[in-house]
Chains A and B, each alone.
Chain A
Amino acid sequence: MIEQFSQIGRDLFLQNAVSSHGGNISIRVGDRIYITRRGSMIHNLKEEDIIETGLYNNDSGIVLASTELKVHREIYRQTTAMAIIHAHPVNAIAVSLESDEIIPLDSEGSYLLHKIPVAAAEHTVGSKEVMDQVPKLLKKYKVVMLRGHGSFAIGQMLEEAYQWTSALEVSAELINIAKSASINIQEYRQNIEKYSNW
């Protein structure tokens, strides 16, 4: 398990999807959760940085678990996710500041995600507002953005959640490049007007 967590954590950092101590990762095994330690360095995870605790019941594991544990638990309770990645992808955060949804321009993002909804909350870290909004959106979408904060992606395994996070960040970077270069976009996809209804 540590190899998996550590590899994904390093890749998130290398993609500029988290800062040195930002973001968190978890997986579910039955009614137990394995989640990164609060304040751990996600690009350099060690065995002791993976904390085990309950999905439904508290135990001493919560003392060390990530501050986003409550949100992770709620996502697992409301969806069939087996893995969750919460990251801070900079380009996606930038795009989330100005819109309620992110529609990728690139082919891969369109193909994989079609649309990424953006939720907004005043208290963005481990709050009830986030617990109320994000799991609900993840019932319908693979990855969602929390405005100004970061992404939550789910999958049946960590690699899958990482793929959605990575695809989101690449799509957002392309949106930002296109915008800053004032590119006159020639649409190549059919039905783009319908992506908003995805």
Chain B
Amino acid sequence: MNGWMGKILKIDLTKKEVIEDVLPEKTYHNFIGGRGLGTKILFDNLDPKVDPLSSENMVVIAVGPLTKTKVPTSGRMSLSTKSPLTNTIFDSNAGGFWGPMLKAAGYDAVVIEGASAEPVYISINENKVKIKDARCLWGKGIRETDDILSNEEGKKAQNLMIGKAGENLVKLASISVNANRSLGRGGVGAVLGSKNLKAISVQGSKSPKIADQEQMDFINYEYNKWIKASPLTSEAMPAFGTSMLVNLINEAGALPTRNFQDSQFSNAEEISGEKMADTILEKNTACYNCPIRCGRKTKTNKSEGHGPEYETIGLLGSNLGVDNIEAIAEMNYLCNDLGLDTISTGGVISCLIEMAEKDFYDYDIKFGEADKVVNLIKNIAERKGIGNELAEGAKLFAESYGHPEMAMEVKGLVLPAYDPRAMKGRGLGYITSNRGACHLRANMLGPELLGLPKMVDRFSSIGKSGLLINQQNFVAIIDSLVVCQFSTFAAGEEFFARIYSAITGDEKTPQDLLDLGEKIWNMEKIFNIKAGFSRKDDRLPARFLEETASGPASGQVFEQEIMLEEYYKSRGWDENGVPTERKLADIGLKGVDLI
């Protein structure tokens, strides 16, 4: 087989059983890898109503046909499971070096079932797979865990691990990759915690076979031209990382401020990418085979680490009223070491602060008090005091005190750092995303603010659905191949179809890939319908529908029903957001059970 390694690992932690398995070639051709493969395996094998923190939940970690090839930005991996935070099907992906190393060990995916009675970690070294005792790692932070595993498994080993938050089943828990990249959202760290699985260490030396090496080299050569020609991938991202967006988004009136009560932050300049570059930035870092090098190695007066990324600055900075880049960086380091998603953590704390300021909840904290936020972060990871309540996420916290409108979330996932009133397509993306409010399900930042592929009216509510659907289907493919979404700043589906065909020998047009993306999207949707989700869950908090935005987006509200109706129709779904029989037949899912 070209492109793929042709083998997957199945690990049952209850039985302590490891099995090598093969998948039919057509499964690879139809679902590619990463998110697509994860969706297929969960769709076929996991009860959508399963308790996400029970031993019955499954985890699929997969790479794709481009992983560990010369294709730039192909160093990513994807993890799929049922989320304890959203109760939806959920995939999260991260860069670093773990993904290429899994392929080097000879595997396209690891499927984890069951739960161990005691803490364990999985060691994969070429074909030797062992489930090892992790009691000595339990309770340790991410950095220390990574150091211990490097000593145990060797410097070449790449490690994926949870911190205290995951161990304590915090629903905001992330999974760290190489101690500097994260499978951030959805509480996926708690799923590993519920299985008593602290880490997976992997190493190997194999490489995938390439169907047409000469053609792959030619297409890569052309692709590199695009990356170099794009000012985003060749200039802005290396210079400022994702934090290049802070000033841009603020000027557009889309920067979340004080729990989205405002959409412009007066001190945005103080927490911008430019400020970071002038103060705490030490050097750029890169994932496997990535010429963009958007990673930030940073250092403050007190500590050092990686990041913060734009979303972190938004949710732990402006949205908490914090205007000190060093303070944000230190909160970010802390979250990273505890294994907490910075977006969700910032989102639940901003919810608490607004409730406290409005006397909906008795707690002494105000926007801008960074020191108190640090204590809250520690308490969330430990589930200590109020932290135990916040660890359940913003939705449950706000609901339990009778103020659900205070949680800025969709399906339990708090909004990332773009106000949907200022970017209506982005808002439509939030409510229709299969994993809750997420900026990574479709790149509407491109057409609504960056002019990629061309600029559209960001305030318009009409005519966005087709563009969004194309983006959603495309991103499903990007996440299946698995490559970095930043590569799409330079190249479109045309490039990915050609490089996929050259590597695998399975000839596909751009349209073929988008059709597969549509199928993956609909399978995720069907999983969620079976899990109990319906049209009532495709909605933004009332704030965005009733309270107008400030600044450049002044007077704007999100016109939910108009946009949702057009979206469902464009998707070929009925008025309740359920795929029609005709649509199911069109995408090869005829007769699939929707109950």
- Selecting from A60-68, A89-97, A119-127, A155-163, the interface stretch reads A155-163
* Docked complex Cα distance between A78 and B494 (Å): 16
A98 to B125 CA separation, bound complex (whole angstroms):
59
A72 → chain B closest CB, angstroms: 14
A114 CB–B CB distance under 8 Å = yes
Q: Measured between C-beta atoms, what is the minimum distance from B530 to chain A in Å?
A: 26
Whether B225 lies near A29 (C-beta < 8 A) is no
The yes or no answer to B594 lying at the interface (CB within 8 A) is: no
Across-interface contacts of B215 in A (CB, < 8 A): 194, 197
Q: Is the CB of B466 within 8 A of A111?
A: no
Given contacts A29-B463, A111-B225, A142-B494, contact A80 B511 (CB under 8 A): yes
In the complex, chain B residues whose CB is within 8 Å of the CB of A27:
463
In the complex, B473 has a CB within 8 A of chain A:
yes
- Name B512's contact: one of A139, A156, A157, A197 (CB within 8 Å): A139
Q: Which of B514, B566, B569 contacts A80 (CB 8 A)?
A: B514
Query: Please, which residue of chain A has its CB at the minimum distance from the CB of B465?
Result: A30
Residue in B453, B465, B509, B510 whose beta carbon sits within 8 Å of that of A157 in the complex: B453
Residue in chain A with minimal CB distance to B511: A139
State whether the Cβ of A128 lies closer than 8 Å to any Cβ in chain B.
no
Note all chain B residues with C-beta closer than 8 A to A172: none
Whether the pair B470, A82 counts as a contact (CB closer than 8 A) is yes
Q: Which residues from B are CB-within-8-Å of A78?
A: 511
In the bound complex, CA of A194 to CA of B218 (Å): 8
| C-alpha spacing A160/B494, complex, angstroms | 14
Chain A residues with Cβ below 8 Å from B453 are: 155-157, 160
Closest B residue by C-beta to A29: B463
- Tally of contact residues, B, Cβ under 8 A: 30
Q: Mark B452-495, 1 if CB is under 8 A from A, else 0.
A: 01101000001101110110010000000000000000000010
Q: Could you give, for residues 151-178 of chain A, a 1 whenever the CB lies within 8 Å of some chain B CB and a 0 otherwise?
A: 0000111011001000000000000000
**What separation, in Å, do the CA atoms of A2 and B485 have in the docked complex?**
34
- Which of A31, A114, A190 makes the CB contact (< 8 A) with B570? A31
Nearest CB in chain B: distance from A71 CB, A: 16
Give the one of B229, B447, B510 with max A CB within 10 A.
B510
Main secondary structure of the interface of A (DSSP, over half): loop
A19 touches B (CB below 8 Å): no
Find residues 505-538 in chain B having any chain A CB closer than 8 Å to their own CB.
Answer: 509-512, 514
B570 CB contacts on chain A under 8 angstroms: 29-31
User: Is A21 interfacial (CB-CB < 8 Å)?
Assistant: no
Contacts of B566 on A, CB cut-off 8 Å?
A: 29-30
Q: How far is the CA of A29 from the CA of B464 in the complex (A)?
A: 8
Q: Which A residues are in CB contact (< 8 Å) with B466?
A: 28-30, 82, 156
Q: Report A152 CB to chain B, min CB distance, Å.
A: 15
**Per-residue B-contact encoding for A122-150, CB less than 8 Å = 1, 0 else:** 00000000000000000110100000000
Given known A-B contacts A80-B470, A139-B511, A140-B510, A157 and B454 have beta carbons under 8 A apart = yes
Give the nearest-CB partner of B474 in chain A.
A80
B497 touches A (CB below 8 Å): yes
A73 to B222 alpha-carbon distance, docked (Å): 33
Q: Which residues of A contact B225 (CB under 8 A)?
A: 111
A197 to B212, CA, bound (A): 13
User: Is the C-beta of A79 less than 8 angstroms from some C-beta in chain B?
Assistant: yes
> How far is B394's CA from A58's CA once the two chains are assembled, in angstroms?
48
Chain A nearest Cβ from B31, distance in angstroms: 19
Which chain A positions have C-beta within 8 A of B473? Answer: 80
How far, in angstroms, from A79 to B518 measured CA to CA in the complex?
12
Chain B CB count within 10 A is highest, among A29, A30, A79, A163, for A30
B363 contacts partner chain A, Cβ-Cβ < 8 Å: no
Q: A198 vs B465: C-alpha distance in the bound complex, in angstroms?
A: 31
Residues of B within 8 A of A184 (CB): none
| Residue of B447, B462, B497, B511 touching A156 (CB-CB under 8 A) | B447
Measured between alpha carbons, how far is A31 from B569 in the docked complex, in Å? 7
Residue A186 interfacial (CB < 8 Å): no
Chain A residues near B512 (CB-CB < 8 A): 139
Indicate if A180 sits at the interface (CB-CB under 8 A).
Answer: no
Interface size on A, residues (CB 8 A): 25
* Contact partners of B401 in chain A: CB under 8 A: none
How many whole Å from B179's CB to the nearest CB in chain A? Answer: 39
Q: Is the CB of B221 within 8 A of A191?
A: yes
A190 pairs with B463, CB closer than 8 A? no
Residues 410-449 of chain B, each 1 if its beta carbon lies under 8 Å from chain A, else 0 = 0000000000000000000000000000000000000100
Contact A79 B221 (CB under 8 A): no
Measured CB to CB, the closest approach of chain A to B482, in angstroms, equals: 21
Q: Which of A30, A160, A190 contacts B569 (CB 8 A)?
A: A30
B218 x A191 contact (CB < 8 A): yes
Are A140 and B221 neighbours in the complex by a CB distance under 8 Å?
no
Give the distance in Å from the alpha carbon of A117 to the alpha carbon of B467 in the complex. Answer: 26
Closest to A194 in B: B218
A157 touching B462 in the complex, CB below 8 Å, given contacts A78-B511, A80-B473, A111-B225: no
Q: How far is the CB of A182 from chain B (nearest CB, A)?
A: 29
* Nearest CB in chain B to that of A163: its residue: B454
Which residues of A lie under 8 Å from residue B222 when comparing CB positions? Answer: 114, 191
- Cβ contacts B225-238/A at 8 Å (1 or 0 each): 11001000000000
**Nearest Cβ distance between residue A26 and chain B, in whole angstroms?**
12
Per-position binary interface string of chain A over residues 46-69, scored 1 when its CB falls under 8 Å from any chain B CB and 0 otherwise: 000000000000000000000000
Q: Which residues of B contact A191 (CB under 8 A)?
A: 218, 221-222
Per-residue CB contact flags for chain A residues 2-13 toward chain B (1 = under 8 Å, else 0) read 000000000000
Bound Cα distance from A47 to B133, whole angstroms: 73
Q: Which B residues are CB-close (under 8 A) to A82?
A: 466-467, 470
- Cα distance A114–B498 in the bound complex, in angstroms: 13
Complexed CA–CA distance, A28 and B463 (Å): 8
- Complexed CA–CA distance, A31 and B566 (Å): 9
Measured between C-beta atoms, what is the minimum distance from B458 to chain A in Å?
A: 13
Contacts of A79 in B (CB 8 A): 511
Q: Given the known A-B contacts A29-B462, A30-B465, A80-B514, are A140 and B509 also in contact in the complex, defined by CB atoms under 8 Å?
A: yes
Closest B residue to A197 by beta carbon equals: B215
Cβ contacts under 8 Å, A156 to chain B: 447, 453-454, 466-467, 470
Q: Which residues of A contact B469 (CB under 8 A)?
A: 80
- Shortest CB distance A116–B (Å): 13
CB contact under 8 A between A140 and B470, given known A155-B453, A157-B454:
no
* Chain A residue at minimum C-beta to C-beta distance from B453: A160
Least Cβ–Cβ distance between B417 and chain A, in angstroms: 24
**What 13 additional pairs, Cβ within 8 angstroms, besides A31-B569, A140-B497, A156-B470?**
A29-B466, A29-B566, A29-B570, A30-B466, A30-B569, A78-B511, A111-B225, A139-B510, A139-B511, A156-B466, A156-B467, A160-B454, A198-B498
For the complex of A and B, the 10 pairs showing the least CB-CB separation, nearest first, are: A139-B511, A30-B570, A159-B454, A30-B569, A140-B509, A82-B466, A139-B509, A194-B218, A80-B470, A191-B218
Name B's A-contacting residues (CB within 8 A): 215, 218, 221-222, 225-226, 229, 447, 453-454, 456, 462-463, 465-467, 469-470, 473, 494, 497-498, 509-512, 514, 566, 569-570
- 17 A–B contacts, CB within 8 A, in A order: A28-B466, A30-B570, A80-B473, A82-B467, A82-B470, A111-B229, A140-B509, A155-B454, A157-B453, A157-B456, A159-B454, A160-B453, A160-B454, A191-B218, A191-B221, A194-B218, A198-B498
